Amino acid sequence: MMKIRTVSLFFLLTTLMLMQSGEIKAMNESYQKATFAGGCFWGMEKYFSQLGGIVGTRVGYTGGTVKNPSYEQVCRGTTGHAEALEVTFNPRKIRYEDLLEFFFRHHDPTTLDRQGPDMGTQYRSAIFTYSSEQAALAEKAKSALDAAGIFKHPIVTEIRPASEFYSAEEYHQKYLEKNPHGYCSLQVQSKRIGEILHGLWGKP
C-alpha cells in the first residue's frame, strides 16, 4: 500500500511540474521584444523599467559590424553600434504603441548622433524592429509626429530590422539603480506627443 501511494504521489508531483513548466513556457512565448536607442542607455533602462508590463530589460550594443564589441570600442565610434536598450514586455499589459510613445517622449529624436552633451554615432536615435508590424507602427509614429510639427527640426530616428544584440558589461546593467547619483542626459519632450499618437491608433 505504501509503495502504491508513493508511486501515485510521484506521478502527481511530476504532472504538476509538467503543467507548471508548460504554463511558464506558454507565458514566455507570449512575451515580445522591443529595442530602442536614444542616447545614454543607463537612463533609457531606468525609465523604461518603471513601466507596467515590462518583464525585463538589458542594455547593450546593436546595429554595428563588429562582433562582441566592448564599451571602449563602441565609445570610439568605430564599430557602428548604438548604445541600446532591449525590452521584454507583456503585450497583454502594454502595447508596442505605448512603448513607441514613451520612447519619443524621453529623448530628442531630431539631433543626429547626439543626445545633449553625449555625441557620437553610438548615441544616435534608432528603433530596431522584430516584425513588419513593429516596423509599420514605428514608421507611422515617426511620420505623424513629423507632420504635426511637434519638433522644431525633422525627426532623424533610424528605423531598421533588429540585428545581433550584444549585452553590455555587467556594471552597465541597471547602472542608475546601483548608482542613484549617476549622470545620464535624457530630455523629456512635449506631452503633445502622447495626444498625437493616441489619436493615431486610439487610446486603450
Which pLDDT tens digit goes with each residue over 53-98? 999 999 999 999 999 999 999 999 999 999 999 999 999 999 999 9
How far apart are alpha carbons 61 and 105 in whole angstroms? 22
- Tens of pLDDT along 108-147? 999 999 998 899 999 999 999 999 999 999 999 999 999 9
Place of cell 486603450: 204
Q: How many CA atoms lie within 13 A of 82 on its CB side?
A: 27
**What pTM did the predictor assign?**
0.85
Report helix, strand or coil for 50.
coil
Rounded Cα distance, 121 and 136, in Å: 24
Q: Is 31 left (phi over 0), alpha (psi -120 to 50) or beta?
A: beta
The reported pLDDT for the residue numbered 3 is 47
pLDDT, residue 9, reads 53
Q: Which residues are catalytic?
A: 40
DSSP string, 126-186: EEEESSHHHHHHHHHHHHHHHHHT-SSS----EEEE----EEPPGGGTTHHHH-TT-----
For each of the domains in the chain, give its residue range(s) and CATH number, in order of start.
31-201 (3.30.1060.10)
Nearest 10 degrees: Cα torsion 41, 121, 96, 174: -10
- Give me the count of residues in the chain: 204
**pLDDT tens, position by position, 166-181:** 999 999 999 999 998 8
